[in-house]
Structure 1
Amino acid sequence: MSIQSRARCWRNVGRFYANRVAAYSELFSIELEQARMRLVREVIALVALAVAALFSLSFLSIAVIATALRTSRFVYIAWAVAVVWMLLCAASYAVVRGQRPARPFKVVREEIRNDLKTVREALR
């Protein structure tokens, strides 16, 4: 391949990417907005769930302990409620650690990867 044909090839690659930059920026802004909206919805839902779960389970625990207040097994029941809470906490931690992380900007990455593949094929 001569120097002129290689320069022409690189110039074409430069034009290709110059045309694609606008598409990348548009895709990036769209995916950024989608990721932001999804994050806000998930955070609000998780906070509402956490508050509701905390209040309902707290009152349930108080009711169980209050029911056993005048029995001989009061201490055992109080400790059983505490152990159940600890197990619930450990299970929640395991579920959170086991979740796959979110993959934002997947479309932008795929587009760039496809364009790089196209450029590599064009430069051969």
Structure 2
Amino acid sequence: MSIQSRLESWRNVSRFALLCVGDYGELISVELAETRARLTRELIALMALAVSGLFTLSFFCIALIASAWNTPYFLAVVWGVAIGWFAVSLIAWFAHRAQRPVQSFNVLKRELRADLETLKEALK
């Protein structure tokens, strides 16, 4: 390959890269907005679920303990409630650890990979 053809291929690659930079900027802004909106919705839903779930379970546990107040099973009920909460906490912790991390900016990653493959092919 001559120097002239090598320079021409590098010139074409640089033009292609410059054209793609604007597209990458647009993709970043679009995906950032989508990620922010999705995260906001998920956080609001999770907070509502956590607050309502904790209130429900708290009143249920208080009702269980109050039901066994003057019975011989009072201590068993109290310890049962405590062990139940501990089990729920362990299950929640294991469920959290088992989740896959959220993949953000997938479209941008795919575009960058495709463009890098194109550039590699153009420089061969």
- The answer to whether the superposition gives a TM-score over 0.5 is yes
* TM-score, scaled to structure 2: 0.98
CA displacement 1:43-80 (0-9 Å, x = unmatched): 11111100001000000000000000010010011000
**Normalising to structure 1: TM-score of the pair?**
0.98
Structure 2 unpaired stretches of 5+: none
Instruction: Report the counterpart of residue 67 of structure 2 in structure 1.
Output: 67
Deviation at residue 103 of structure 1 after TM alignment:
0.6
User: What are the within-5 Å matches in structure 2 for residues 1-124 of structure 1?
Assistant: 1-124=1-124
Describe the SS at the equivalent of 2:114: helix
Q: Which amino acid aligns with 1:36?
A: R
2:7 and 2:68 mapped to 1: Cα distance?
Answer: 86
Amino acid across the alignment from 2:36: R
Task: Please tell me the residue identity of whatever aligns with 1:116.
Answer: L
Give 5+ residue unaligned stretches, structure 1.
none
Letter in 1 for 2:17: Y
Give the whole-Å Cα distance in 2 for the aligned partners of 1:69 and 1:10: 83
Runs of 4+ more than 4 Å apart: none
CA RMSD of superposed structures (Å): 0.6
Give the % identical residues: 49
Aligned residue pair count: 124
Deviation at 1:122, TM superposition (A): 1.1
